[in-house]
Amino acid sequence: MAHNLLPVAVVLAVALLMAPAAGYPWLSCGTSSSFAANGTYQDHFNFAAATLPKNASTSPDLFASIVVGTVPEQLSAMALCRGDVNSTTCFSCLTEAFGDLPSACSDDKAATIYYDPCMVHYSDVHTLPGDDDTGPSIDTYPIGDNQYVTADPGQFIRLLAALVNATADYAAYNSTRRFATGQADTGFDPEFPELYALAQCTPDQTPAQCHKCLAGLISQSLGGFQNRDGARMLAVSCTYRYETKPFYNGPAMVRLASPSSGAPAPAPAVNSRVRAADGGRRKYHVPWVAIAVVLPALAAMNLVACLCFRRRRRRLLIAQAKHQNPMYSTEAEDTEMVDSMMMDVSALRAATGDFDESNKLGEGGFGAVYKVGVLPDGEEIAVKRLSSSSSQGVQELKNELALVAKLKHRNLVRLIGVCLGQQERLLVYEFLPNRSLDLILFDTENEERGRRRLDWAQRYKIINGVARGLQYLHEDSQLKVVHRDLKASNVLLDENMNPKISDFGLARIFGRGQTQAVTRRVVGTYGYMAPEYMMRGNYSVRSDAFSFGVMVLEVVTGRKNSDDGCNLLATVWTHWEAGTVAQLVEPSTMGGSFPEGDVLRCVHIGLLCVQADPAARPVMSSVVMMLGSDTVTLQAPSKPGFFVRNNSANAAASTVSLDG
């Protein structure tokens, strides 16, 4: 089967200018040699024919392969069904295919036969999936109604390129079955209002191998289709197809909007990687969210009403705080915010048993957190108590106070009050009974118990909730806030496992139009800090995205990035390149079964967020969209920014000085 082993770049059997191909089956026969009837090779073929239809149709991937015998009578065979058919259809199609072979190719020792829902390939030469030197043969078949799109051929070709590129990339990187379907609205031809596509590789290929195979088909063939209404490219390792009428089962996995007249869809990439997002950006472009402006008159009315009600008490408490804490700020903006939240320290002391150790929930970077108990109105609260020996922490506390009081979102911890009197510096928060995410994910007392406490639905809810909280901080609030210390221990969980981002002591506000900042004092947690922040002090919403990506990978795998001897990013990347990401997840830790496609998609998103290049990381609004819809296509991630963790025991707030 000499032509079956020629590189993709060499052989292209073009049938575009001919009449439509006859109906199925479509054949690709070898030319090397034939085998004798009732001989050893025939016995090997019969064994494959009796085995593969059942094995493939009962496989989750609808795929099976086998190697029988030894050279020179060795037979290598594989059977693959289209990813959208059921097992019954798959079995029937493969049985028919093996029945038609090998007589359809005159007993050649190599042949490939294609039906609409399945294909079978066998050969006397065994090759590895994705072998660069032995690419498959390519056969091109025009299908559809043998019509041409004439309304706007150029626009049609550009949209077709965008759709098949996006569908191919989804098949390679978003599906363990290496299968995807796509749909696009043309928007310019009422006769052909929709465009449909399908891409598939054999599931034994890695994502990179599948992508390379499909990219080769697309780059060599797509331009030759001109504006034909349908065509199918067939190869042993991969295939793609498009039509202007629906031809696959189920909803499209990739959906593109009609291209605007002023912004054509991208042309197909030639001899380069095809990025799914290139075809998807048109629909999923995220506009800037307008910032709401509070009317000065309304603010003034609220302020006057508030002052009339509690003016004398506020003045007393502020004066007391200034006297006992010289570092307390009385700037106008902070004063207004603090006034409405001032609490009596004596009440907090009484509620905590004077901060008894039995009420301590945990220890943060700048102090302890206590469960205070129940206020007179019945609300359970927790208190963050700044350590009296931490001179550094005073500024962080004031910063956290100024920020959190102005931020209101369901996925941010809610600040209830503040106390800066009697030598105490306290922040009072809502109490979250399930405490922090790290205590569940990484239960040091019982690691197995900790991992089992979160099923996949809960893990996904946590990932999505944290993403929405960050989107609010970065894009949707009146302030543009960079957290700088996002990690599992700073994600708190309520009674329903809803996540809330906490600990804003290191957060910074960005001005209008500001995209990044530089600090000479890098403070954060090793394993979560982005490369550009850790090494150069540059921080932005993209550095928060890096921290989020690390947390996502921790939530999915149940493994801690900062564990001794474990670089989680390197481990996940190695499995990603090998196509074995599913091995990182133990079903027992997910409460049994879990949707593998969703898990792989979250890993994909996590890897996009931890890419070494900050500009390549997605903004959080894009992440939220990726998490919320399977039809949003994802780019192929590049290598993460790796870190070797600092072995210091105090990893909660490790500081790197960049002075000098």
Q: What proportion of the chain, given as a percentage, has pLDDT over 70? A: 67
The per-residue pLDDT for 544 is: 96
Inter-CA distances, 244 with 140, 217, 269, 513, 606, Å: 17, 20, 22, 44, 35
If you average pLDDT over residues 386-397, what whole number do you get? 56
Start-to-end Cα distance in the chain: 67
Q: Say how far residue 124 (Cα) sits from the centre of its chain.
A: 41
The per-residue pLDDT for 505 is: 77
Asked if 122 contacts 73 with a C-beta cutoff of 8 angstroms, the reply is no
- Only one residue has tokens 């190695």, namely 574
Hey, which of 11-20, 65-74, 550-559, 646-655 has the most confident mean pLDDT? 550-559
Determine which one of 124, 438, 485, 544 is catalytic: 485
The per-residue pLDDT for 268 is: 39
Asked if 485 contacts 503 with a C-beta cutoff of 8 angstroms, the reply is yes
If you average pLDDT over residues 493-506, what whole number do you get? 90
Diameter of the chain measured on Cα atoms: 105
Hey, which of 2-11, 351-360, 622-631 has the most confident mean pLDDT? 622-631
The per-residue pLDDT for 613 is: 93
Residue 105 has pLDDT above 70, yes or no: yes
Lowest mean pLDDT segment, chosen from 17-21, 100-104, 421-425, 503-507:
17-21
Hey, which of 184-198, 281-295, 470-484 has the most confident mean pLDDT? 470-484
Higher pLDDT: 12 or 429? It is 429
Higher pLDDT: 214 or 660? It is 214
Report pLDDT digits (tens) over 421-473: 666 778 788 888 888 899 888 875 555 554 557 889 899 999 999 999 999 99
Structure-token pair, residue 606: 């996590």
Alpha carbons 384 and 370: distance in angstroms, whole number? 6
Residue 278 has pLDDT above 50, yes or no: no
Alpha carbons 428 and 397: distance in angstroms, whole number? 12
Alpha carbons 138 and 8: distance in angstroms, whole number? 7
Asked if 4 contacts 135 with a C-beta cutoff of 8 angstroms, the reply is no
Cα atoms in the 13 Å half-sphere on the side-chain side of 540: 16
Q: What proportion of the chain, given as a percentage, has pLDDT over 90? A: 30
The per-residue pLDDT for 650 is: 36
Catalytic residue at 132?
A: no
DSSP state letter for 516? E
Report pLDDT digits (tens) over 538-555: 999 999 999 999 999 999
pLDDT band at 117 (very low <50, low <70, confident <90, very high): very high
Higher pLDDT: 649 or 120? It is 120
Alpha carbons 225 and 15: distance in angstroms, whole number? 10
Residue 527 has pLDDT above 70, yes or no: yes
Q: What are phi and psi of 161, to 5 degrees?
A: -60, -45
The per-residue pLDDT for 388 is: 59
The per-residue pLDDT for 30 is: 72
If you average pLDDT over residues 106-125, what whole number do you get? 87
Inter-CA distances, 612 with 533, 608, 639, Å: 11, 9, 7
Report pLDDT digits (tens) over 223-255: 666 677 788 888 889 999 999 889 999 999 999
Contacts of 357 (CB under 8 A, 6+ apart): none
Structure-token pair, residue 341: 């939240």
Report pLDDT digits (tens) over 301-310: 444 444 444 4
Asked if 625 contacts 286 with a C-beta cutoff of 8 angstroms, the reply is yes
Please state, rounded to an integer, the average pLDDT across all residues of the chain. Answer: 74
Structure-token pair, residue 178: 């290496």
Asked if 475 contacts 620 with a C-beta cutoff of 8 angstroms, the reply is yes
Cα radius of gyration rounded to whole Å, the chain: 31
Q: Look at residues 147, 156, 328 and name the one whose alpha carbon lies nearest to residue 259.
A: 156
pLDDT band at 86 (very low <50, low <70, confident <90, very high): very high
Report pLDDT digits (tens) over 26-63: 888 876 677 877 788 888 888 889 989 999 999 888 99
Report pLDDT digits (tens) over 352-386: 777 777 777 766 655 677 776 666 666 778 888 77
pLDDT band at 120 (very low <50, low <70, confident <90, very high): very high
The per-residue pLDDT for 69 is: 80
Report pLDDT digits (tens) over 298-345: 444 444 444 444 444 445 444 444 444 333 344 455 555 655 677 777
Q: What are phi and psi of 351, to 5 degrees?
A: -70, -25
pLDDT band at 273 (very low <50, low <70, confident <90, very high): very low
Q: Residue 341: what residue type?
A: M
Higher pLDDT: 210 or 105? It is 210
DSSP string, 386-420: E-TT-HHHHHHHHHHHHHHTT---TTBPPEEEEE-
Higher pLDDT: 429 or 198? It is 198
If you average pLDDT over residues 107-132, what whole number do you get? 79
The per-residue pLDDT for 655 is: 39
SS3 of 582-595: the string is: HHHCCHHHHCCCCC
Structure-token pair, residue 115: 């039906």
Alpha carbons 110 and 29: distance in angstroms, whole number? 6
pLDDT band at 394 (very low <50, low <70, confident <90, very high): low
DSSP string, 347-382: HHHHHHTTT-GGGEEEE-SSEEEEEEEE-TTS-EEE
Higher pLDDT: 399 or 584? It is 584
Structural domains of the chain sorted by starting position, each given as residue range(s) with its CATH number in brackets: 2-123 (3.30.430.20), 143-284 (3.30.430.20), 296-430 (3.30.200.20), 445-657 (1.10.510.10)
Contacts of 297 (CB under 8 A, 6+ apart): none
The per-residue pLDDT for 72 is: 79
If you average pLDDT over residues 65-91, what whole number do you get? 89
DSSP string, 75-143: EEEEEEE-TTS-HHHHHHHHHHHHHHTTGGGTTBSSEEEE-SSEEEEEESS---TT-TTSPPP-EEEE-
- Residue 384 marked ligand-binding: yes
The per-residue pLDDT for 19 is: 31
